[in-house]
């Protein structure tokens, strides 16, 4: 792979940004990687592990002469960061993000992007429950999807360049409308996370089951809920507040399905339960066939980098 951007600025140095940095190094996608983070401790850790070519103290300094700027901060603060960097962006540069919500990001960031700068929102569908600059690894995006959400008037050449960049990081790239993106993610990510948080919270509330029993006897079902529920609380708070409508729509549908299953269990409707579980099992098989997970024991996760 050859260089796609001369200078890339990473604003925020958590799991996604640090994985991007290692992925860029692996594929030679950038001539220089500049990073910054709000926390001085995060910046110091990034310097210590050699994550970027340069780690600077402010976002305004980081974006100076950058060809690509990636906002890898919680959705709730993207607008403030965009306002800070707007006057310092180079003409012809591309600003993108990695947020899990798109319509709210466009509304918050868009007004602060000056004329002559391309704003192309993006969302890599990859992650782990770990966070911070030490959590990243170059393989995170391999064979995972990255969704680009360009505006109708986006510069095609800039979009194609960002696509080449994400493909260089190992991702499968597709384009999607912002509202449709938010609905899709409400189904595939946001509502499942909320359900996982709820299940772990329920276990915490059941005083008839002691904490030690919950931990000791956690079979795969509950254990997988806890893995999801260990995700970054700031990020997920912002996701639910900024993708409210789509998440509530899917949770309403979930509630209806849950009531139907409750009724089947109460009335002893084994045929309904069997048919329902057969249908959901087929969805799991489709995910494996698409190469988005493995049917290895423990989903193969015991051998995967954290």
Question: What is d(CA 300, CA 243) in angstroms, rounded to the nearest whole number?
Answer: 31
Check pLDDT > 60 for residue 301. Answer: no
Q: Residue 19 falls within a domain, yes or no?
A: yes
pLDDT of residue 294: 76
Question: What is d(CA 82, CA 59) in angstroms, rounded to the nearest whole number?
Answer: 9
* Interacting residues of 30 by C-beta distance below 8 A, sequence separation 6+: 3, 4, 5, 6, 7, 8, 24, 68
Question: What is d(CA 232, CA 141) in angstroms, rounded to the nearest whole number?
Answer: 19
Same domain flag for 122 and 254: no
**pLDDT tens digits, residue range 1-25?**
689 999 999 999 999 999 999 999 9
Task: For 90-110, give the DSSP string.
Answer: PTT-EEEE--S-SHHHHHHHG
Q: Residue 192 belongs to a domain with what CATH number?
A: 1.10.3660.10
State which of 134, 154, 176 marks the end of a domain.
176
The number of folded domains in the chain is 2
Check pLDDT > 80 for residue 217. Answer: no
Average pLDDT over residues 26-32: 98
**pLDDT tens digits, residue range 150-169?**
988 899 999 999 999 999 99
Question: What is d(CA 285, CA 302) in angstroms, rounded to the nearest whole number?
Answer: 20
Check pLDDT > 80 for residue 221. Answer: no
Same domain flag for 28 and 165: yes
- Residues 174-185 as b/e (b if ≥16 CB within 10 A, e otherwise) read eebebeebbbbb
Q: Residue 249 falls within a domain, yes or no?
A: yes
3-state helix, strand, coil in the chain (%, to 5): 60, 10, 30
Check pLDDT > 50 for residue 114. Answer: yes
Mean pLDDT score of the chain: 91
Q: Residue 295 falls within a domain, yes or no?
A: no
Same domain flag for 211 and 247: yes
Same domain flag for 78 and 224: no
Same domain flag for 94 and 203: no
Same domain flag for 44 and 149: yes
Check pLDDT > 60 for residue 304. Answer: no
Q: Residue 274 falls within a domain, yes or no?
A: no
Same domain flag for 171 and 197: no
Same domain flag for 192 and 164: no
Same domain flag for 208 and 243: yes
Q: Residue 96 falls within a domain, yes or no?
A: yes
Same domain flag for 98 and 198: no
Q: Residue 154 belongs to a domain with what CATH number?
A: 3.40.50.720
Q: Residue 301 falls within a domain, yes or no?
A: no
pLDDT band for 211, please (50, 70, 90 cuts): low
pLDDT band for 209, please (50, 70, 90 cuts): low
Residue numbers of the domain that contains 213: 180-268
Q: Residue 54 falls within a domain, yes or no?
A: yes
Same domain flag for 95 and 206: no
pLDDT band for 295, please (50, 70, 90 cuts): confident
**What is the H or E stretch that residue 277 is in?**
helix 270-289
State which of 157, 176, 195 marks the end of a domain.
176
pLDDT of residue 131: 87
Q: Residue 64 falls within a domain, yes or no?
A: yes
Same domain flag for 26 and 158: yes
Percentage of the chain exceeding pLDDT 70: 93
Question: What is d(CA 149, CA 176) in angstroms, rounded to the nearest whole number?
Answer: 5
């Amino acid at each position: 792979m050859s260089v796609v951007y001369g200078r890339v600025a990473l604003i925020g140095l958590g799991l996604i940004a640090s994985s991007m940095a290692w992925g860029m190094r692996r594929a030679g996608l950038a001539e220089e990687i500049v990073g910054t983070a709000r926390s001085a401790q995060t910046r110091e850790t990034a310097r210590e592990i050699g994550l970027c070519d340069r780690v600077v103290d402010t976002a305004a300094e980081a974006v100076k002469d950058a060809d690509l700027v990636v906002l890898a901060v919680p959705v709730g603060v993207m607008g403030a960061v965009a306002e800070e960097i707007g006057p310092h962006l180079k003409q012809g540069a591309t600003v993108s993000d990695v947020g899990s919500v798109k319509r709210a990001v466009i509304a918050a960031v868009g007004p602060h992007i000056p004329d002559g700068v391309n704003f192309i929102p993006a969302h890599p569908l990859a992650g782990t429950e770990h966070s911070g600059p030490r959590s990243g690894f170059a393989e995170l995006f391999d064979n995972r999807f990255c969704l680009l959400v360009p505006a109708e008037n986006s510069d095609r050449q800039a979009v194609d360049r960002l696509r080449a960049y994400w493909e260089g990081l190992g991702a499968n790239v597709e384009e999607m409308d912002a509202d449709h993106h938010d609905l899709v993610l409400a189904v595939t990510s946001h509502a499942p996370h909320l359900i996982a948080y709820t299940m772990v919270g329920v276990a915490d509330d059941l005083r008839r089951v002691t904490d030690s029993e919950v931990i000791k006897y956690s079979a795969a079902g509950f254990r997988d809920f806890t893995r999801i529920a260990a995700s970054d609380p700031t990020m997920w708070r912002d996701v639910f507040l900024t993708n409210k409508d789509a998440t509530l729509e899917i949770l309403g549908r979930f509630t209806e399905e849950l009531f139907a299953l409750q009724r089947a269990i109460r009335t002893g409707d084994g045929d309904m339960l069997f048919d329902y579980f057969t249908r959901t099992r087929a969805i799991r098989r489709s995910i494996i066939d698409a190469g988005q997970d493995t049917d290895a024991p423990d989903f193969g996760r015991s051998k995967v980098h954290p």
